[in-house]
Structure 1
C-alpha cells in the first residue's frame, strides 16, 4: 500500500480522526454494533486459575471478554 492510498479525515463522532482509504470511508453506523458500555478492569488470579480460564476460553472458542460476560450474566440472572 502506498502513501497516496491513505488519507486522514474527521469522522462525525466528536471530531475524532480516522483513516480513510481510497475505497470506502467513515460512515455513520458502520462497524460492529455495541452490546453495552466498555469499561477496562484489571483482574489478579493465580497462575493455575489463569491456565484454567485460558483452557476454558479455548475449549469454548470464546474471547476472554465473552467468557467473563457469560459468567457474570449467569451469576446475576441466578440471584
Structure 2
C-alpha cells in the first residue's frame, strides 16, 4: 500500500482516531446501535470472587459487561428484561 492511498481525518468525537483509505471509511451513524449510556465503574472484590466471576463468564460465554448488565437490570429494571 502506498502512502498516497491513506487520508487522515480530524476526529468528530473526543478519543476517536480515524484513518481513511481511498474508499469507504467511517460514516456518521454507522456501526452497532447503542443500548444505553456507558459509564465507567471500578469494582473491588476479593481475589476468589474475581476468580469465580471470571470463571462464570467464561463458562457461559459472557463478557463481564454482559453479566453485570444482566444482573443490574434484573435488580433495578425488571420491566426492561425480555423474559419478564
TM-score computed with the length of structure 1 as normaliser:
0.78
1:69 paired residue number: 69
* 1:16-71 Cα deviation digits (max 9, x unpaired): 65221223112121112111111111110000000010011111111111110001
Large movers: runs of 4+ above 6 Å: none
Unaligned runs of 5+ in 2: 80-84
Unaligned runs of 5+ in 1: none
- Higher RCO (CA 8 Å, separation ≥ 6 residues): 1
**Is the 8 Å Cα contact of residues 7 and 19 (structure 1) preserved in structure 2?**
yes
1:21 paired residue number: 21
Aligned residues: 77
**Is the 8 Å Cα contact of residues 7 and 20 (structure 1) preserved in structure 2?**
yes
